[in-house]
Amino acid sequence: MRLFNSALAILSFICALALAAPAFALDLDGAKAQGLVGERQDGYVGIVSASPSPELKRLVDDINLRRRGAYQNIVTQTPGATLNAVEKLAAEKLIAKTLSGQFVQDASGKWVKKP
C-alpha cells in the first residue's frame, strides 16, 4: 500500500506540472473545450475529431510523449510499479478531472461526453 501511495503522490505531482505549463495547458484545454480531443482509458489524450488538423495531431503527439515520459519516470522511481499500472492510475485521475461536457473514453473505448 505504501508503494501505491508513493506512486500516486508522484503521479499527481507530475500530472499537475504537465497540465500546468501555460501554452501547453491552454492548447489542450482549448482542444478539449472544442470537443476535438478527450482523455483515453490508458492515460493518454485521444483525437475525437474525424478530420484532425496537423496542428492537433502534433499537439496530441506532444502531450502523449510528455505523459509517457512522466509515467516512465514514476515507474523507474517506484519499485514494483509497472507502466501499465501507472497509465491506468493516471487515466482514472485525468478522467475524474475532466470537465462535464468534455469527451472521455468509456470502458469499451467509445468517446462519450462526461456528464
Is 70 exceeded by the pLDDT of residue 60?
yes
Provide the domain count of the chain.
1
Query: Position of cell 509515467?
Result: 71
Phi, then psi, of 112 in degrees rounded to 5: -135, 150
Q: Each residue of 83-100: pLDDT tens digit?
A: 999 999 999 999 999 999
Written as one letter, the residue type at 100 is S
Tens digit of pLDDT for each residue in 1-12? 666 665 555 555
Q: What confidence tens digit (pLDDT) does each residue in 70-87 have? A: 999 999 999 999 999 999
Residues spanned by the domain of 78: 2-113
User: Which tens digit of pLDDT belongs to each residue from 41-54?
Assistant: 999 999 998 999 99
Residue 37 backbone phi and psi in degrees, to 5: -135, 165
